């Protein structure tokens, strides 16, 4: 068995984090850290505060996972997730941060692969992100 720290260098995974609230983006970064799981490469964060830049960055490619704040203003992450899934071939997985646990059905409507409610629970967020990134790395 190889130790991840001695294995050949792997490119970091690009995780887009969208919220108009800088503290929400920070909470996501702090919850996940630089390497949420030793079996996966590290994470490079792409922080985005506006819907237009989310679309631009996702269209450009190179994003392995998008975490979208469903409570963001002026456009919430669920609507953006739906648009991305409708418009981007082979769209990377999307996790939506919902306002409440009962909003999970909206995240399902948006075609997001996962939903985690506010306030952000680091363990729940990390579990969902690791699961989604594992499927992305396997592809």
Which CATH superfamily hosts domain 13-123?
Response regulator (3.40.50.2300)
Domain ranges of the chain: 13-123
Measure CA 25 to chain center.
11
pLDDT, residue 118, reads: 94
pTM over 0.95: no
pLDDT digits (tens), the chain, 139 positions: 333 333 335 699 999 999 999 999 999 999 999 999 999 999 999 999 999 999 999 999 999 999 999 999 999 999 999 999 999 999 999 999 999 888 888 888 999 999 999 999 999 999 999 999 999 887 6
User: What CA–CA distance (Å, rounded) separates 118 from 107?
Assistant: 13
Sign of CA dihedral 79, 83, 86, 89: negative
């Amino acid at each position: 068995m190889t130790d991840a720290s001695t294995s050949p260098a792997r490119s970091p995974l690009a995780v887009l984090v969208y919220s108009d609230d800088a503290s929400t983006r920070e909470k996501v970064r702090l919850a996940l850290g630089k390497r949420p799981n030793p079996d996966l490469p590290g994470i490079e964060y792409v922080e985005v505060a506006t819907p237009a830049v989310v679309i631009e960055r996702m269209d450009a490619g190179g994003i392995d996972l998008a975490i979208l704040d469903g409570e963001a203003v002026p456009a919430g992450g669920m609507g953006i997730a739906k648009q991305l899934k409708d418009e981007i071939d082979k769209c990377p997985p999307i996790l939506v941060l919902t306002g409440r646990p009962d909003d999970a059905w909206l995240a399902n409507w948006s075609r997001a692969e996962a939903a985690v409610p506010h306030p952000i629970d680091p363990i729940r967020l990390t579990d969902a992100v690791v699961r989604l990134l594992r499927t992305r790395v396997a592809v």
